[in-house]
Amino acid sequence: MMLRFIPTPSTSAFNIGPLQIHWYALCLIAGIAVAIWLGDKRYRALGGGKSIVADVAIVAVPSGIIGGRLYHVITSPANYFGSDGDLSRAFKIWEGGLGIWGAISLGTLSAWIYYRKGLKSDREGVLPFAKFADALAPGILFAEAIGRFGNWFNGELFGKPTTLPWAVEIPPYNRPYLYGNFETFHPTFLYEALWCILIAVVLLKKGKLLKPGQGFLFYVAAYCFGRFFIEILRIDYASHFLGLRINVWVSALVFLAAVWFFVLLGRRPQAVPTAESDNL
């Protein structure tokens, strides 16, 4: 008989000898590997040098993970602080909880600083940072999509109750308060993964029509647009402001900022890039 819902995996980890491997961590690692591989391929296609993307990733990836975790902890303080909180859980990344806003912000900032200051000025194939960011954008989107399946293994990031054929079944111990009698919910982790893949495909197909820097800004704006509506569907605990989840506000504000910068870059005359110039 065909299932009328998507089941949540019965386990989020497996053992190899004394080691416990978490599927969430594997999804993150796989996503990072895809982002670096595709980013390097696209960067070199633009004329960039070999191993530059990998070199920057050594700094940007840990910074992104730290930034993502900090954002999650700050916006979900009840889980980590106060009488009912457990601060030690802030270091348990395998349990889930990486805020994309913090990951992209700190990861991009550290990449930009290292790209400008850490790479040797006379190194061959160092393109403007705008082109570097554009080259990485589709890979980052695929990484986000792969990472969201880690949330599936953890039984998290689902939305309001639904009986749609693609609803995800959530175990009773993972259901939020007041939703204990519902069994199936919107798989918002899947919605976000599919949205990220769609944006990545658009960039791969049409990105050449954009000016340097616009590809990355298109990624940010398009992601925020979809995340705004996906976030409204979610029912897990989150901090609110004026009746809306913090991430709803962040999605809207970052979307507006990205669109504004996208338009500004579109109005700039096309400049001849040099190794020392920066367009983003």
State the residue for tokens 């990205």. Answer: 258
pLDDT of residue 227: 95
At residue 188 the predicted structure's pLDDT band, cuts being 50, 70 and 90, is very high
Alpha-carbon gap, residue 220 to 262, rounded angstroms: 10
Q: What is the pTM assigned to this prediction? A: 0.88
Q: Could you tell me if 110 and 188 are in contact, meaning their C-beta atoms sit under 8 angstroms apart?
A: no
pLDDT of 228 over the 80 cut: yes
Amino acid 122: pLDDT: 67
Using a CB cutoff of 8 Å and minimum separation of 24, what contacts does 112-116 make?
112/280, 114/56, 114/59, 114/60, 115/56, 116/278
Length reported for the chain: 280
**Between these two residues, 195 and 277, which has the higher pLDDT value?**
195
Looking only at the bridges linking them, the beta strands covering 244-245 and 19-22 are unpaired
pLDDT at 168 over 50: yes
d(CA 94, CA 21): 9
Q: Between 20 and 121, name the one with better pLDDT.
A: 20
Q: How far is it, in rounded angstroms, from Cα 220 to Cα 241?
A: 22
Percent of the chain with pLDDT over 70: 88
Give the pLDDT of residue 82: 66
Q: Report, as an integer, the average pLDDT of 129-155.
A: 95
Give the start-to-end residue ranges of the domains of the chain.
Answer: 21-267
The CA distances from residue 163 to 167, 170, 186, 278, in Å, are: 6, 12, 8, 50
